[in-house]
C-alpha cells in the first residue's frame, strides 16, 4: 500500500469511527449497508434499485424488443409515415397529422436550434420530412424510426411509452416534457395502425378480412385499445359498441396486487404479455390459461399461451422484465394541488363519506386505493355487465387504484370510459350501493376523489 492510500484508508476508518461515535444507539450490522456496497460483492439495495430504475426507464421509453420486424417489416407502417415523395407510400404523415392522432413530441430530445425554429414558426408542420427529422432525434414519444444509410426510413417500432406516456404541453400542444406512466388519452392507436399499407398479417391472425379489421381498428377511438381482441376475437360488445378499454395510467401501482382492469396478473406478467403478444417484440411467454379454446379461441389457435419458439439468445424481453417492473413501481402518482385541482374543505367532508357511509373504502383502501390482498370483484358487486370481465381468466373486475385520478379524467371512468364524469361514477354507486347521498354529499365525494 502506498503512503497515500494508507492515509486514505486510515481517514476512512477514522470517519467510520466518528459515525459510530456520533450515533451510539445504532447497531452496526451487515443489513444496515443500505447505501453502501456490501462486503459480499453484491450491490447495496439503494444502488441496485437506482440502477434498475435507470435501466427500466430506458426500456420503457426506448426499447422496441425487435417489434419493428412486425410494425415496419410486416405491416410496412413506416412507408405510410415516410410518404411516396421520400420513398414510402401515399402522402406521408406530417407532424400536424401525427399530433392530430395523439402522438407526442419530447421537447427535451430536440436540439435547441430546432426548438427555436419551431417556436419562430419556421418549421413546416405539414411536411412529412419534418416527421422523419423528429424520429431521427428520437423525440416522438414511444415510436422509434430505423433509418437506412441513405436517410430513408427502413422500419418503425413502438415502445411502452407509446400508450403509457404523454407530455406536459409546456412547449406547444402535444410538445413538451415527458410524463412517463400517464396514459395517453389522445392517442388513437387504432387509427395509427389502420394507416399501415399491409394489414393482412394482423387480419389473418384474427381470421377476418382486411376491411373488417379496419372497421375494428377505427372503432376504438382516442385513448383506447383492445388488448383482448387478439385472444377472443370479440371486437364489439353486445350493445354494438367497441370492446376497447381506456389506456390506463400506470403510476401509483406499488403495493397493488393484481393488474389490468380485469386482474390478469402481476406487473411482470402483464409486461411479458404486452411486449410479446401486443407489441410483437421478440420474447418468450407462457400462460396455459390462454389454451382455453372456449374463452380464447384465437389465442388457442395461434398457441399464444406457449411462445417458446425462439432461443434464449433471441429473447429480447425476459431479461428486461426485472428492471421494467422496478421502474413502473417507482412511478409515483401525481399530486393534485389544493384549491386548484380540488376544494380542500369539501374533500375533507368527502373523505368522511368515502371511509364511512358511502362504503367506498370497503374496496378502495389507501394509499393504493385498491385492496390490500385479492383486489377482485364480481360484476354484480359494482353493478355492471360482465362482458369485459368474461374476457379474462377470472371473470371479475379489479378494484381500480385511484391515486392521481385528477390527472386522467379525459375519456371517462371505469374500464371502458362508460361514465364521463366522476359525478356520474358517484351517482352510479349511489344507486348500486343504495347510499341515499344528497347532491351536496355527492359533490363532496367527487372533491375527495380529485384530491387523491
Ligand atoms: C398499444 C397500447 C399499449 C402499449 C404499447 C402498452 N400498453 Fe400497457 N396497457 C394498455 C391497455 C389498454 C391496458 C389495459 C388492459 C386491460 O385491462 O385489459 C394496459 C395495462 C397495463 C398495465 C396495468 C395497469 C394497471 O392499472 O394495473 C401495466 C402495468 C402496463 N400496461 C404496462 C405496460 C408496459 C410496461 C408496456 C411495454 C412493455 C405496455 N404496457 C405497453 C395499452 C398498452
Ligand atoms: C365492491 C368493491 C367496490 C366498492 C364498494 C367501490 N368500488 Fe369503486 N371500483 C371498484 C371496481 C371493481 C372498479 C373497476 C370498475 C371498472 O373498471 O369497470 C372501481 C372503479 C372505480 C372508479 C373508476 C376509476 C377509473 O379510473 O376508472 C372510481 C372513481 C371509483 N371506483 C370510486 C368509488 C367510490 C367513490 C366508491 C364509493 C361510493 C366506490 N368506488 C366503491 C370496486 C369498488
Domain CATH for 376: 1.10.760.10
In a domain, 237, yes or no: no
Calpha distance 153→444 (Å, rounded): 53
Last residue of a domain, one of 172, 204, 225: 225
Atom 36 in ligand 2: residue holding the nearest Cα: 360
Tell me the ligand closest to 441's alpha carbon.
Answer: 2
Same domain, 216 and 68: yes
Q: For the chain, what is the domain count?
A: 3
In a domain, 253, yes or no: no
Calpha distance 176→153 (Å, rounded): 25
In a domain, 42, yes or no: no
Asked whether 364 lines ligand 2 (CB < 6 A), one says yes
Closest CA to 217 of 192, 253, 237, 245: 192
Same domain, 95 and 172: yes
Tell me the ligand closest to 224's alpha carbon.
Answer: 1
Asked whether 351 lines ligand 2 (CB < 6 A), one says no
Q: What are phi and psi of 338, to 5 degrees?
A: -60, 135
Asked whether 397 lines ligand 2 (CB < 6 A), one says yes
Ligand 1 centroid distance, CA of 90 (Å): 31
Same domain, 152 and 23: no
Instruction: Give the pairing type, strands 175-176 and 105-106.
Output: parallel
Same domain, 62 and 189: yes
Ligand 2 centroid distance, CA of 399 (Å): 6
Q: Which residues are within 8 A (CB) of 240 and not within 5 positions of it... i.e. 6 or more apart?
A: none
In a domain, 257, yes or no: no
In a domain, 185, yes or no: yes
Q: Which residues are within 8 A (CB) of 256 and not within 5 positions of it... i.e. 6 or more apart?
A: 368, 370, 375, 401
Asked whether 141 lines ligand 2 (CB < 6 A), one says no
Calpha distance 155→69 (Å, rounded): 8
In a domain, 266, yes or no: no
Tell me if residue 28 falls in helix, strand or coil: coil
Same domain, 118 and 70: yes
Range of the domain at 87: 57-225
Ligand 1 centroid distance, CA of 220 (Å): 15
10-residue mean pLDDT series, the chain (452 residues): 42 39 47 60 86 98 98 98 95 97 98 96 96 97 96 96 98 98 98 97 95 98 98 96 98 98 98 97 96 97 88 93 98 97 98 98 97 98 98 98 97 98 98 98 98 98
pLDDT recorded at residue 297:
97
Asked whether 139 lines ligand 1 (CB < 6 A), one says no
Same domain, 17 and 151: no
Ligand 1 centroid distance, CA of 279 (Å): 10
Closest CA to 195 of 116, 309, 92, 47: 92
Ligand 2 centroid distance, CA of 336 (Å): 19
pLDDT recorded at residue 307:
86
Q: Tell me the pTM.
A: 0.92
Same domain, 82 and 17: no
Ligand 2 centroid distance, CA of 263 (Å): 14
Q: Do residues 304 and 277 make contact, with C-beta atoms less than 8 angstroms apart? A: yes
Same domain, 124 and 208: yes
**C-alpha cell read off for 88:** 414510402
Calpha distance 384→415 (Å, rounded): 11
Atom 10 in ligand 1: residue holding the nearest Cα: 247
Q: Which residues are within 8 A (CB) of 429 and not within 5 positions of it... i.e. 6 or more apart?
A: 358, 360, 435
Same domain, 21 and 63: no
In a domain, 186, yes or no: yes
pLDDT recorded at residue 32:
55
Asked whether 258 lines ligand 1 (CB < 6 A), one says no
Ligand 2 centroid distance, CA of 185 (Å): 20
In a domain, 19, yes or no: yes
Same domain, 148 and 217: yes
pLDDT recorded at residue 22:
41
Atom 26 in ligand 2: residue holding the nearest Cα: 413
Same domain, 9 and 62: no
Residue for grid cell 431521427: 136
| Alpha-carbon separation of residue 198 from 153, 195, 213, 292, 299 (angstroms) | 17, 9, 11, 30, 22
Same domain, 23 and 107: no
Last residue of a domain, one of 193, 225, 257: 225
Amino acid at each position: 500500500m502506498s503512503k497515500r492510500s494508507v492515509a486514505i484508508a486510515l481517514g476512512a476508518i477514522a470517519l467510520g469511527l466518528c459515525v459510530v461515535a456520533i450515533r451510539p444507539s445504532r447497531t452496526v450490522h451487515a443489513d444496515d449497508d443500505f447505501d453502501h456496497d456490501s462486503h459480499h460483492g453484491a450491490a447495496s439495495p439503494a444502488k441496485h434499485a437506482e440502477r434498475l430504475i435507470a435501466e427500466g426507464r430506458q426500456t420503457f421509453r426506448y426499447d422496441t424488443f425487435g417489434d419493428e420486424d412486425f410494425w415496419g417489416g410486416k405491416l410496412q407502417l413506416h412507408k405510410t409515415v415516410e410518404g411516396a415523395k421520400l420513398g414510402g407510400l401515399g402522402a406521408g404523415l406530417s407532424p400536424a397529422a401525427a399530433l392530430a392522432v395523439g402522438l407526442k413530441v419530447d421537447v427535451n430530445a430536440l436540439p435547441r436550434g430546432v426548438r427555436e425554429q419551431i417556436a419562430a414558426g419556421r418549421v413546416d408542420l405539414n411536411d412529412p420530412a419534418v416527421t422523419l427529422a423528429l424520429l431521427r432525434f428520437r423525440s416522438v414519444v414511444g415510436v422509434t424510426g430505423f433509418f437506412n444509410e441513405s436517410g430513408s426510413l427502413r422500419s418503425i417500432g413502438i415502445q411502452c411509452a407509446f400508450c403509457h406516456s404523454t407530455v406536459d404541453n409546456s412547449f406547444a400542444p402535444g410538445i413538451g416534457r415527458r410524463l412517463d406512466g400517464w396514459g395517453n388519452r389522445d392517442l388513437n392507436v387504432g387509427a395509427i395502425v389502420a394507416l399501415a399499407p399491409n394489414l393482412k398479417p394482423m387480419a389473418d391472425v384474427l381470421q377476418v378480412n382486411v376491411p373488417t379489421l379496419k372497421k375494428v381498428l377505427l372503432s376504438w377511438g382516442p385513448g383506447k385499445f383492445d388488448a383482448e381482441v387478439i385472444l377472443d376475437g370479440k371486437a364489439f360488445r353486445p350493445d354494438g359498441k367497441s370492446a376497447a378499454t381506456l389506456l390506463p395510467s400506470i403510476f401509483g401501482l406499488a403495493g397493488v396486487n393484481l393488474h389490468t382492469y380485469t386482474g390478469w396478473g402481476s406487473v411482470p406478467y402483464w409486461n411479458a404479455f404486452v411486449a410479446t403478444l401486443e407489441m410483437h417484440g421478440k420474447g418468450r411467454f407462457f400462460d396455459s390459461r390462454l389454451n382455453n379454446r372456449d374463452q380464447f379461441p384465437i389465442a388457442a389457435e395461434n398457441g399464444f399461451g406457449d411462445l417458446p419458439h425462439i432461443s434464449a439468445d433471441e429473447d429480447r424481453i425476459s431479461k428486461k422484465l426485472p428492471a421494467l417492473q422496478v421502474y413502473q413501481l417507482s412511478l409515483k402518482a401525481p399530486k393534485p394541488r389544493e384549491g386548484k385541482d380540488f376544494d380542500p374543505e369539501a374533500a375533507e367532508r368527502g373523505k368522511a363519506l368515502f371511509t364511512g357511509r358511502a362504503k367506498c373504502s370497503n374496496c378502495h383502501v389507501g394509499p393504493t386505493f385498491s385492496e390490500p390482498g385479492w383486489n377482485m370483484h364480481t360484476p354484480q358487486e359494482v353493478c355492471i355487465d360482465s362482458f369485459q370481465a368474461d374476457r379474462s381468466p377470472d371473470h371479475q373486475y379489479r378494484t381500480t387504484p385511484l391515486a392521481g385520478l385528477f390527472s386522467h379524467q379525459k375519456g371517462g371512468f371505469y374500464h371502458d370510459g362508460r361514465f364521463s364524469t366522476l359525478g356520474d361514477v358517484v351517482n352510479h354507486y349511489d344507486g348500486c350501493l343504495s347510499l341515499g347521498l344528497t347532491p351536496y354529499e355527492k359533490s363532496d365525494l367527487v372533491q375527495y376523489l380529485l384530491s387523491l
